[in-house]
Amino acid sequence: MQTISGRSLAGRSSHVARVSQRARKACVVRAAAAVEEKAVGTAWQFTQPAGKGLGWYTGAEDGYLYVDQLRVEDIRKQVPESPFYLYSKNRIMHNYQAYKGALEGLNSLPCYAVKANNNLIIMKELAAAGSGAVLVSGNELKMAMAAGFDPSRTIFNGNGKLPWELELAAEKGVLINIDSEFDLENIAAAARKTGKKVKVLLRINPDVDPQVHPYVSTGLAGSKFGIRNSHIQWFLDAIRAEPLLELVGVHSHLGSTITKVNIFRDAAVIMCDFIKMIRAEGFQLQYLNIGGGLGIDYSHQGQVLPTPTDLIDTVRDIVKELGLTLVIEPGRSMVATSCALVNTVTGVKTNGNKHFIVIDGSMATLIRPSLYGAYQHIELTKPSNAPQEVFDVVGPICESGDYLGKDRQLPTPEKGDGLVVHDAGAYCMSMASNYNLKMRPAEYLVEEGRLRKVRHEETLEHHMAVFEGL
């Protein structure tokens, strides 16, 4: 973590180091206790890996919830914090390999969208597997460098990039997407200031409707992202006039949770026209960047959704015909299904004709249901014959909009039971907040049958540190 500690972080990092040391010690003690209790295995090694699956599933024989080889109930006994995020490394790697396989036969650059999940350990795993990264802030860029992503396989994107962020990107040699007239001016200024030649892509709005929630639709003509298409000649002239800028490609990102690949095809056809027009102006374009956006089956109803192969195959001929390198920027489809938020039931209550399960997780831990009305599947971690009711699953936050699920048919749980919110690997922890002074939770990763802590729970000490010395 040294690499990301700037001057302003220096004081804080020693404080964090102290806290982490304590937390590490606590882990070792707990792990040792677990080993003693079960008398087999090393620290974090579970003694009875009963399941064999990949990612999350219900044990066919015992009805318990599993992640990879481990029973979530067993994990809960080992983990002192609640709620906590729990990941399957297998599942993340499997998703990444699905993209790698889909891209075979093409020149390609798969870039993981760090905004979906910025856990440093997960980022390191993806960097080590060869993924590039797409970033939207200077801090994401610093984290990506700390995680070991290759800067030349990294893209900096965004509609409000700041001068210091652009200078850092120029210095590191990452590709930069141009989003507007002022963004182009700022990128050129960063290139001049650092004396570095910068490779740039033009972010174009193909104006194709991704048919998703308006908050996650990004490629329509009236979107805040991307350049004004009718102004393209101005951009080409401005780039030509700036010797330190090299135009190498075009970018589009239509939106997120997209469930039909013909939408990507429609956009790629439009981008193809732009590429031909820009090439005719004498630019040597190499990259077609179709962004991210592939959806996943949040419903858990066996919905058949397009795979990475379906996505890539829908644009394969265009990429080949134009001799391009295909850039993709998947976030959600890489990490969402790998994770669940594991909560503890605080109690069950009824008001009027409404039944509620109150859990310790909340909109502060996982905001997607409250923010977008998003559905994320919910289940208990162990089988139960208790009477079923239709419940709203709610958190302890002082907002009526604080819910994780509405109208969910579930067995009535006991206080202390485990309840998970599925598909929580993308835009959940990365969007968590400290609202009501709830601290962002710990994260754990299942890796080859072992449980590994990959993030400490934030503490009030961390939070108070930002007020130190005022």
Ligand X SMILES: N[C@@H](CCCC[NH3+])C(=O)O
d(CA 426, CA 333): 8
Options 330, 361, 405, 413; binder of ligand PLP; rule CB under 6 A: 330
Min CB(4)–ligand PLP separation in Å = 22
Per CB under 6 A, does 368 bind ligand X? Answer: yes
d(CA 236, CA 408): 53
Q: What is the CA radius of gyration of the chain?
A: 24
Following CA atoms 380, 385, 387, 393 in sequence, which dihedral angle do they give, to the nearest 10 degrees? 0
* Cβ distance to ligand X smaller for residue 336 or 446: 336
* Residue 368 binds which entry of ligand PLP, ligand X, none, CB below 5-8 Å type-dependent: ligand X
Identified catalytic residue from 272, 339, 398, 428: 398
Residue nearest to ligand X (CB): 427
The size of the interface with ligand X (CB under 6 A), counted in residues, is 6
Task: Say if residues 149 and 127 touch (Cβ distance below 8 Å).
Answer: yes
End-to-end CA distance of the chain: 26
Per CB under 6 A, does 263 bind ligand PLP? Answer: no
Min CB(293)–ligand PLP separation in Å = 4
d(CA 278, CA 69): 52
**At 278, is the secondary structure helix, strand, or coil?**
helix
Per CB under 6 A, does 256 bind ligand X? Answer: yes
Residue located via tokens 């599993």: 66
Site string for ligand X, 379-418 (x = CB under 6 A): ----------------------------------------
Per CB under 6 A, does 296 bind ligand X? Answer: no
Per CB under 6 A, does 292 bind ligand PLP? Answer: yes
Per CB under 6 A, does 427 bind ligand X? Answer: yes
* Residue 329 binds which entry of ligand X, ligand PLP, none, CB below 5-8 Å type-dependent: ligand PLP
Per CB under 6 A, does 134 bind ligand PLP? Answer: yes
**At 17, is the secondary structure helix, strand, or coil?**
helix
**At 357, is the secondary structure helix, strand, or coil?**
strand
* Cβ distance to ligand PLP smaller for residue 65 or 133: 133
Min CB(232)–ligand X separation in Å = 23
Binding segment (CB under 6 A) for ligand PLP, from list 59-67, 288-296, 365-373, 444-452: 288-296
Amino acid identity for residue 361 in this structure: G
3-state secondary structure 380-430: ECCCCCCCEEEEEEECCCCCCCCEEEEEEEEECCCCCCEEEECCCCCCCHH
Say whether 398 is catalytic.
Answer: yes
Min CB(177)–ligand X separation in Å = 13
Give the catalytic positions in this structure.
398
